Structure 1
């Protein structure tokens, strides 16, 4: 399993509109091959800052399957205009301790 983690900064005053758009766009990502789950967390200290966490079966499910899909084009159309600055996406995997 891969965890996609993205710190998002939404333009000031657009938080409610963003959350509504994200709720709608969630159906896009959740329909993708390899998708496991996602959550959007709102920061308590900084208004307009969010943390998006998405679990994928593999890295390619996100970077190729989702990013090269028509669904991603619609995701971008619905959400990307809210971000300033544009976010950096990072991927993580679990560290197994024995």
Structure 2
């Protein structure tokens, strides 16, 4: 399992509209092969800042299966116009302790 982590900055005044669009877009990502779960967290200190966490079975489920799919084009259409600056996506793996 890998964790995709994305810090998102939504354009000022667009937060409510973004959250509604994200609810709709959630149907897209949750239907993808290798998807496990996701959550969107709203920052309490910085207006318009969000943290998206997505769990995937494997890195390629996100980077290839989702990112190279027609569903990703729909995801982009719903969400990408809200971001400024455009977010950087990072992937993490669990450290066995």
Q: Normalization by structure 2: what TM-score?
A: 1.00
1:23-81 residue CA offsets vs partner (Å, 9 max, x unmatched) = 00000000000000000000000000000000000000000000000000000000000
Structure 1 residue matching 2:19: 3-state secondary structure = helix
> Which blocks of at least 5 consecutive residues in structure 1 are unaligned?
none
The Cα RMSD (Å) is 0.2
Q: Match for residue 46 of structure 2?
A: 46
Runs of 4+ in structure 1 off by over 2 angstroms are: none
User: Aligned residue pairs: how many?
Assistant: 97
Q: Normalization by structure 1: what TM-score?
A: 0.99
2:55 is equivalent to residue 55 of structure 1: yes
Separation in 2, partners of 1:70, 1:31: 12
